[in-house]
Amino acid sequence: MKPPKILAFVMAGGEGARLSPLTAYSSKPSLPFGSRYRIVDFVLSNLLNSGIQSIYMLVQYKSQSLIEHVRKAWVVSPMRNEEFVTVVPPQMMRGGDWFMGTADAVYQNINLIQLHNPDLVLVFGADHIYRMDIQQMVDFHRERKADVTVAALPVPLEEASSFGVIDTESDGRVADFKEKPANPPHMPSDPTRAYASMGNYLFDAKVLVEALKQANDRDEHDFGHHVLPHLKDTHRVFAYDFATNKVPGTKSYEEPAYWRDVGTRDAYFSAHQDLLGLTPRFDMFNPQWRIFSSNYQGPVARLFDAKVHNSVVAAGSMVRQASISNTIIRREVIIEEDVEIEDCVIQDYVWIKRGARLRRAIIGGYNVIEAGTHIGYDRELDSRRYHVTAGGVTVVGPGEVTSSMRAFSE
């Protein structure tokens, strides 16, 4: 079969309210993740590694930091018109409204589909941590002559009520969509698990355009709640089992079909812990399927008489006679003498002064932690000064920095 022409929309407008105060100055997809990435880098890397290079990123809330990141890190090819990652804010081309939902966001940019005239259109979220060879989903879609394919993650049946669940026939054809059902239907092949929607969709382009127009006429704006439930009754809609996706270079010790929605502070913290150890659940080192990000030009990390256990210290950071364990230290962090840090995530440009003690905490970028400060040792005190999650993680929001520094720092 002739390879299809594919256009991708990345939905990167999420406000990330459940991640507050980390999202005080930037959207959820723009948040730092791991030692050198941002959340949005994962979906973009999956697309490029899969050979999909025509990408529009739809942004909305607090988007400047994300726009600057894409400008600096995601220049694909200025010589070929079909190879691009382009940020598209709300254009107000069909009225004065911002995007009112995922389907409305694509509908407001329907002219871009008409401009490129693709065979297939991908609509993927920008909020998740995972690796995926999207061409395998494309092959599944074409083999079944599907009009729409929805990426589906097998989850334990007892956890499925927290997700949008897909009820399928034995061949994968979608019978129904159920939003957080009390009694979720199990997978045809496994009575212990259910299919959870990953929010990643593949459409026949003509079907998508017509469906978006009809949804707009009905004043409906969301793919999961509106467009897909209508299409399953009139078109061939299939669920693609993400567990069958095989990414080159994945290690035997990694969690199969690793995928995390890091939409809460506890989930964000937990996913960082998955990166640590000799056999991490999600190993960031995979030369066959790289996660790309900005090309930081600063110096390497420097450690002076420091004790570092099961941790990552990013470029430009300096650690002096401190003790660090089970922690991710991002770029250009200064850690002074007699500091102890355990089970933490320290974001960019943080200065932690002499004698500080940090445990089970997320420290937002640009903070100064004063000498002798204790965080993570007294929950009641932390709750008065900072934010403490249900899981007991203390979250310190980003420090006060001028907007120009925050938007343009990389």
DSSP SS3 for 135: helix
DSSP character for 383?
Answer: H
Smallest Cα–Cα separation from 49: which of 289, 294, 292?
Answer: 289
Q: How many Cβ atoms are within 10 Å of 222's Cβ, its own excluded?
A: 16
Mean pLDDT of 255-282: 97
User: Which of these three, 234, 261, 288, is where a domain ends?
Assistant: 261
**What sign does the CA torsion over 243, 74, 101, 205 have?**
negative
197 among annotated binding-site residues: yes
The total of structural domains in the chain comes to 2
256 and 179 within one domain: yes
Average pLDDT of every residue of the chain: 92
26 and 164 within one domain: yes
Smallest Cα–Cα separation from 325: which of 279, 277, 263?
Answer: 277
Looking up tokens 């490129």, which residue turns up?
116
The pLDDT value given to residue 93: 59
Average the pLDDT over each of 13-22, 50-59, 305-314, 381-390 and give the range with the smallest value.
13-22
The pLDDT value given to residue 401: 56
122 and 241 within one domain: yes
383 among annotated binding-site residues: no
316 within some domain: yes
Q: How many Cβ atoms are within 10 Å of 195's Cβ, its own excluded?
A: 31
User: Which of these three, 261, 276, 308, is where a domain ends?
Assistant: 261
> For residue 408, what pLDDT band results from cuts at 50, 70 and 90?
very low
The pLDDT value given to residue 14: 78
254 and 109 within one domain: yes
360 and 243 within one domain: no
Looking up tokens 């948040």, which residue turns up?
31
**Amino acid in position 142:** R
The answer to whether 33 touches 26, Cβ cutoff 8 Å, is no
192 and 330 within one domain: no
339 within some domain: yes
119 within some domain: yes
309 and 196 within one domain: no
Smallest Cα–Cα separation from 350: which of 368, 372, 336?
Answer: 368
49 within some domain: yes
DSSP SS3 for 304: strand
In the chain, the percentage of residues whose pLDDT exceeds 90 is 82
143 within some domain: yes
Mean pLDDT of 221-232: 90
398 and 354 within one domain: yes
364 among annotated binding-site residues: no
CATH of the domain at 94: 3.90.550.10
364 and 246 within one domain: no
User: Which of these three, 236, 261, 286, is where a domain ends?
Assistant: 261
Asked if residue 293 has pLDDT above 70, the reply is yes
185 within some domain: yes
Assess whether the previous peptide bond of 154 is cis (omega < 30° from 0): no
Question: H/E element holding 67?
Answer: helix 64-73
For residue range 96-134, what is the model confidence (pLDDT) as tens digits? Answer: 667 778 888 999 999 999 999 999 999 999 999 999 999
128 and 186 within one domain: yes
300 and 256 within one domain: no
Smallest Cα–Cα separation from 120: which of 141, 151, 140, 150?
Answer: 141
Q: What is the dihedral of CA 138, 220, 56, 297, to 10 degrees?
A: -110
Rounded distance between C-alpha atoms, residue 332 and residue 315, angstroms: 7
User: Exposed (0-12), middle (13-18) or buried (19+): which is 26, by Cβ within 10 Å?
Assistant: buried
Which pair of structure tokens corresponds to residue 52? 């999909």
CATH of the domain at 345: 2.160.10.10
- Expressed as residue numbers, the domain containing 40 is 6-261
275 within some domain: no
15 among annotated binding-site residues: no
Rounded distance between C-alpha atoms, residue 212 and residue 215, angstroms: 5
313 within some domain: yes
Give the angle 179-182-183 at the CA atoms, nearest 5°. 100
185 and 105 within one domain: yes
The pLDDT value given to residue 406: 42
> What DSSP string describes 219-279?
T---IIIIIHHHHHHHS-EEEEEGGG---TT--TTSPTT-EEE--SHHHHHHHHHTT-SSS
